[in-house]
Amino acid sequence: MLWGSRFKEKLNQTALEFSSSLPFDINLFEEDILVNKAHTEMLADVGILSQEDADKIVKGLNSIQSEFDEGKWKPETEKYEDVHSAIEARLYELIGDVAGKLHTGKSRNDQVATDLRLWIKKSVQQIILSINNFQIVLINTAEDNLDTIMPGYTHLQRAQPVSLAFHLLAYVEMLERDKERFDFVLEQVDVSTLGAGSIAGSTLPIDPEFTSWKLGFKKYFSNAMDAVSDRDFALDFLNACTIGQIHLSRLSEELILWSTSEWNFIKIGDKYSTGSSLMPQKKNPDIPELIRGKTGKVLGNYINLASVLKALPLSYNRDLQEDKEPVFDSFKTYINSLDILKEVISTIDINKERFIKELRGDFILSTDLTDWLVLQGIPFRDAHGIVGLVVKYAESAGKNFTNITLDELKKINPVFHEEAIEYLMIDESLKRKKSKGSPNPEMLQSQINNWKSMLFEFIVT
């Protein structure tokens, strides 16, 4: 225990186990060692600790890290409140009473906040790298499918023809925004809180700037009360994980639909599919389904921490112990989802000719025909009405855009001539796109080249 001398009785064992955060804050083991070492070196630098005592403490902390890494020592939940008390207790066992000087000028409040900030900094960098790798897989798949035509949807109704490349690049854009959100988290979390103490700093001449620099933070806190109670950075992290996971869930939903017999657009590799215990013919897209399902848990983690924070008075309250579990869980779920969905995408077999014949017999080029009428000088609203009449006539006559004749079009409106028929051919529809951000294959190739250049530069740097 890091406290207890003013109490007549020891903490009830059930209460200890109930209140112990060790099962999850063990994730902060490495960060806690780093913070303790930086604090010890600062105490020696300002003359509060002798160099001899500081060296003993640092050597002991290094030994504890080695024991933990090699599996020779693992703190037990029934003995310790948290990872901080476990490490300090082990330090006593290794170096004796000198270990009692480690906690000079700091509290668990400022230490745990600093630990968590260090952990999130490290984790954000891992996530950004995983997002980057996922983008590369999507871009490579997109480049192979610049001319793979598929229906684009609004309201889950066929709207206009697009390409699979265009569709996948939409997710690349989403993922880039996810990276920007994590960049913001990195900026917000890059503040050392070590030296804030429990609430109001210390009467000892400690140096928060020293420990901030030693631990690699860009800056250190300005207000001790805010420093120990601030968990905005954790909420920002969970928000970024939540939006990122939602994006993966949306893509997973589409992979699930595309892999059905009704769509027959993709086949997911056997390595990332499962079967049925009853129906031997089944091949199920379980990985995308699990990603879709786990999204609820990640969203719940955000609500969890937001609910903890919503009514907390300043400064530290024990409720804040509940900040770590949702953070650790969302990180694990999100980065695992990123990495495995990347592999799923890399194994899919795409039926590139799936929609060509079907869309030739569809009315999906109605907007293209409307645009052609506009180019003939007809106001858009009138052109919209004319094409609506064409569709109505074709449906009533049992026809579609592939077999409606020029004479029939002219009967609806004499403005139609030979060129109009070309606008009803699906094969060239994407190449006719003129506006930026459209599925024109040349424009998409240019985008892909830019993405490759940017993402490759990210990997190199």
Q: Where are the alpha helices (DSSP H) in 46-107?
A: 51-69, 83-95
Secondary element (H or E) of residue 220 = strand 219-220
277 is catalytic: no
> Could you tell me the two tokens for 451?
């993405």
The sign of the dihedral angle between the CA atoms of 296, 298, 300, 306 is negative
CA distances from 459 to 129, 133, 212, 454 (A): 8, 9, 28, 9
Please give the Cα distance from 435 to 439 (Å, whole number). 9
DSSP E strand stretches across 279-416: 349-350
Concerning whether 39 is annotated as a catalytic residue, the answer is: no
User: How would DSSP label each residue in 232-275?
Assistant: HHHHHHHHHHHHHHHHHHHHHHHHHHHTSTTT--EE--GGG-B-
Counting beta carbons within 10 angstroms of the beta carbon of residue 5, is it exposed (0 to 12), middle (13 to 18) or buried (19 or more)?
exposed
Residue in the structure block whose two tokens are 């120990």: 228
Query: Could you tell me which of 116, 289, 250, 261 has the C-alpha nearest to residue 190?
Result: 116
- Provide the residue type at 372 as one letter: W
115-131 in b/e burial notation, b at 16+ Cβ within 10 A?
bbbbbbbebbeebbebb
Which among 19, 66, 222, 276 is annotated as catalytic?
276
Owner of token pair 């004319």: 386
Catalytic, out of 155, 277, 396, 435: 155
- Please give the Cα distance from 331 to 343 (Å, whole number): 19
Per-residue three-class SS string for 5-37:
CCCCCCCCHHHHHHHCCHHHHHHHHHHHHHHHH
Query: Cis before residue 315, ω within 30 degrees of 0?
Result: yes
Q: Please name the residue that has the structure tokens 């490349």.
A: 165
Q: Which region, left, alpha or beta, applies to residue 47 given φ > 0 means left and ψ of -120 to 50 means alpha?
A: left
Backbone torsions φ then ψ of 447, nearest 5 degrees: -60, -45
Please identify every residue annotated as catalytic.
155, 276
